[in-house]
Amino acid sequence: MSEYELILAAGRTEKNYWRDLWRYRELFQVLAWRDISVRYKQTVIGAAWALIRPFLTMLVFTVIFGKVAKLPSDGNTPYALLVLAGMLPWQFFSTALSDASNSLVANSNLISKVYFPRLIVPIATVVVAFVDFVISFVILLGLMVWYRFVPDWHILFLPLFVGLAFLSSVGPGLWITTLNVRYRDFRYIIPFIVQFGLYVSPVGFSSQMIPDKYRLLYGLNPMVGVIDGFRWCILRGESPLHPGSFIASVVVTAAFLWLGIHQFRKMEKSFADLL
Amino acid sequence: MVPELMTRSPVISIENVGKRYLVGHKTGSVRRYTALRDTIALKARQLLRNSVDILSGRALQSGDQVEEFWALRDVSFTVNEGEVVGIIGRNGAGKSTLLKILSRITEPTCGQVYLRGRIASLLEVGTGFHPELTGRENIFLNGAILGMKRVEIRQRFDEIVEFAGVEKFLDTPVKRYSSGMYVRLAFSVAAHLQSEILIVDEVLAVGDFQFQEKCLGAMKGVAQSGRTVLFVSHNMNAVSQLCTRCEVLSEGRVEYSGDPGSAIARFLNSRSTNSLIQISEKQNENAKERFLIRELELLDGDNVPASTFIMGQPLKARIRIQCLKWTARTEVGVKVSSFTGVSLHYLASSWEGMSFDLEPGEHVFEVTMPRVCLFPGKYEIGVWVGISGQTSDAKAMELTRINVLLGNITGFPTAIDQYATSGCEVYMPSIWKRVH
């Protein structure tokens, strides 16, 4: 019984917070499972959507940037592979960001009725986006077979950059979902950020296209570090990492993560009153 | 610890708990005239305040003046293990806020709450049900949301399904369920929660009569199994059946604490304060040039102001009207309607042969309903005035609510309160004999 002893007072939730987060891990699994199983209900092709979207976008980008604009690839890699190595983390980032940003409002009925550490809700949606991301790796495999492209030891570092992609979407996602609770304006900003970011980030082209003196500045976009890292791993290191730019991306990601968690925790207590 | 000691110790102790909300007000509308300069200054001030609030992560207030509002103030009481405590009070008395604090949805502004044991709250049946998922999946989803472990749900799965009576539809998405099935399944999950403390808020207000009986039975079972229950309801019948003790809340404070019988009496009496209603000009709908309704007073058979009436006993209404110009054949009326907005009774003076010729000035009328023929429950009262046979000149609807309690209307023992839960509202005398 003593396990469940609890004192409620102003500012008191702080102390139990991280312990509670662990205690509610089953709810976290269930919420993620709910979103995954609902995601493609009443669709004819179901999870194939997770393949079609990145595949078609990759085709278009390859034609426009590779064939029409004739931008150079990194080393000898096929242009389609270059695009896909950037497209996969980008799709993950954009889905995770937009789903996480809407998560609190979408689950308002839960939040105003039941207690649980609210951090569960946006993180669970990122996990759902992650499942789509894993499925879409099938395209990468297919493309590698098509081009008879065998990755080398660089690929072993991929999980590291998947983790970075995860963190880079969690930080801004937490911050925006917090703001979205009070100011629904942010619902309209998200599609804009996603659309805009697709062209600002090196998805359809290589970061090598950016003049060297601007690479550091370019790295302030956290997705630059993630995409460069993905290319480095997948393309046998033929697209070298720019250290300055990469470090800038990691620092910005860390800053956003801190800001997101900080703001989220600060506003969390009032979510139920605001929704 | 010695078992005897365990049972005596409080599982919930609430100490001086208060909850403050900030409410924004608009003063602009009160101002007689506004200069553009004032408006600009006002907007600039708002913008400044809003941006400071956004940057500091504080909640924004609408309106240009912020006022404090205490939903709860200095609330203290303790609940011992195994007690079933009813919390009653008018709408806005702070019941929901208190439950929200206990179930950790919101934090108290001041004071402390000590809890010993897991709390599960049924603030609303079916929270978190997803329409696309099947009954089976929703049991697990809802159980997890309410704080059950997967192992526990699996253990009690058959019981839950059996109680809800949805065996055949377990693999059907709940969006295809009838509303009755939906509610039954949701309540069933909640009723099988394994927690030491259960918070129940108005869950008995759902489903048909038969199922409500079943729920009440389940609640009694929970109470008898030694778990602690906090029960909030407007159904005084259920409160008096289930609870061992009651707390009466009024305007955010504990007004009374004691046995259910006297607490309910206290609560019902405290409602009689709105037996006298002043009616503003605004409340007079479609008032033309002739009349304004000023005041309505409700009295019981002994001419004592009241808002709670007993079935079979008289109800009197006094209506003060301001007449603005000389009018012949004036009709005054009282409308009784159900909570759901269905008109039940019209008491019209002209039907009883009373039409009045009125000169300008104030007039008071009294109407008596010799026997209240309404089933136990709550009803809305409205007033109208106009020329007989024409549409009303002024009307003021839903002015106040009356509460009708079970009384002996027929001279025989009845269980009318039980029929009342199935939706019937009006008693009609009838004569019975055996012909064959």
Q: What tens digit of pLDDT does each residue of B357-399 get? A: 999 999 999 999 999 999 888 888 889 998 888 877 888 877 8
> B121 CB near a chain A CB, below 8 Å?
yes
Nearest residue on chain A to B97, judged by CA atoms? A273
Q: What is the pLDDT of residue A257?
A: 95
**Where do we find the tokens 């910005």?**
A252
Q: For testing the chain A interface, which of B5, B14, B145, B174 should be mutated: the one with the most A CBs within 10 Å?
A: B145
Nearest residue on chain A to B195, judged by CA atoms? A4
CA–CA separation, A42 and A36 (whole Å) = 13
Q: What is the pLDDT of residue B366?
A: 94
What residues have CB less than 8 Å from B53, skipping those under 6 apart?
B59, B60, B61
Nearest residue on chain A to B21, judged by CA atoms? A273
pLDDT band at B2 (very low <50, low <70, confident <90, very high): very low
> B419 CB near a chain A CB, below 8 Å?
no
User: How far, CA to CA in Å, does B248 sit from each of B74, B85, B94, B309?
Assistant: 14, 10, 10, 20
Q: Where are the beta strands (DSSP E) in B134-213?
A: 197-201
Largest Cα–Cα distance of chain A, in whole Å? 69
DSSP lists the bridge partners of residue B228 as B197
Helices (H), A147-221: 158-182, 186-200, 212-218
- pTM of the predicted protein model: 0.70
Judge residue B17's burial from the number of C-beta atoms within 10 Å of its C-beta, 0-12 exposed, 13-18 middle, 19 or more buried.
buried
Instruction: Name the residue among B100, B117, B145 with its Cβ closest to that of A272.
Output: B100
Q: Which residues of A touch B (CB under 8 A)?
A: 1, 4-13, 26-27, 30-31, 34, 37-38, 41-42, 109-116, 178-179, 182-183, 263, 266-267, 269-270, 272-274
Residue B9 vs residue A268, higher pLDDT = A268
pLDDT tens profile A39-98: 887 777 877 888 888 899 999 999 999 888 888 888 788 899 999 999 999 999 999 999
- DSSP secondary-structure letter at A192? H
Contact across the interface for B60 and A182, Cβ inside 8 Å: yes
- DSSP secondary-structure letter at A96? H
User: How far, CA to CA in Å, does B24 sit from each of A72, B64, B68, B100, B366?
Assistant: 59, 7, 9, 22, 42
pLDDT tens profile B293-333: 989 999 988 888 888 888 888 999 999 999 988 888 999 99
> B113 CB near a chain A CB, below 8 Å?
yes
Q: What is the pLDDT of residue B45?
A: 78
What residues have CB less than 8 Å from A91, skipping those under 6 apart?
A53, A54, A57, A132, A133, A136
pLDDT band at B147 (very low <50, low <70, confident <90, very high): confident
> B134 CB near a chain A CB, below 8 Å?
no
Helix, strand counts (H, E) of chain B: 10, 19
| Distance between A114 CA and the closest CA of chain B, angstroms | 6
Contact across the interface for A115 and B145, Cβ inside 8 Å: no
Report the first-to-last Cα separation within chain A, whole angstroms.
33
Which residues of B fall within a CB distance of 8 Å from A7? Answer: 112-115
Residue B119 vs residue B319, higher pLDDT = B319
Residue B52 vs residue A166, higher pLDDT = A166
Which residues of B fall within a CB distance of 8 Å from A4? Answer: 115-118, 196
What residues have CB less than 8 Å from B154, skipping those under 6 apart?
none
> B69 CB near a chain A CB, below 8 Å?
no
Which residues of B fall within a CB distance of 8 Å from A116? Answer: 145
Residues B374 and B311: beta-carbon distance below 8 Å: yes
Nearest residue on chain A to B146, judged by CA atoms? A114
**Dihedral of alpha carbons B54, A217, A260, A166, sign:** positive
Residue A147: pLDDT over 70: yes
CA–CA separation, A145 and A137 (whole Å) = 13
Which residues of B fall within a CB distance of 8 Å from A179? Answer: 54
CA–CA separation, A86 and B248 (whole Å) = 63
Strand pairing report for B394-405 and B308-310: parallel
Report the first-to-last Cα separation within chain B, whole angstroms.
70
Q: What is the ipTM of this complex?
A: 0.82
Q: What is the pLDDT of residue A15?
A: 67
Weakest mean pLDDT among A180-189, A261-270, B283-292: B283-292
What average pLDDT score do residues A180-189 get? 82
Which of B208-247 are b and which e, b meaning 16 or more Cβ less than 10 Å from the residue's Cβ? Answer: eeebbebbbebbeebbeeebbbbbbbbbbbbbeebbebbb
Query: Mean pLDDT over all residues of chain B?
Result: 80
Residue B128 vs residue A215, higher pLDDT = A215
**Where do we find the tokens 């064939």?**
A67
- DSSP secondary-structure letter at B174? G
**Dihedral of alpha carbons B205, B210, B216, B221, sign:** negative
pLDDT tens profile B38-69: 767 777 877 787 777 666 555 555 555 567 78
DSSP lists the bridge partners of residue A6 as B115
Which of A100-123 are b and which e, b meaning 16 or more Cβ less than 10 Å from the residue's Cβ? Answer: bbbbbebbeebbbbbbbbbbbbbb
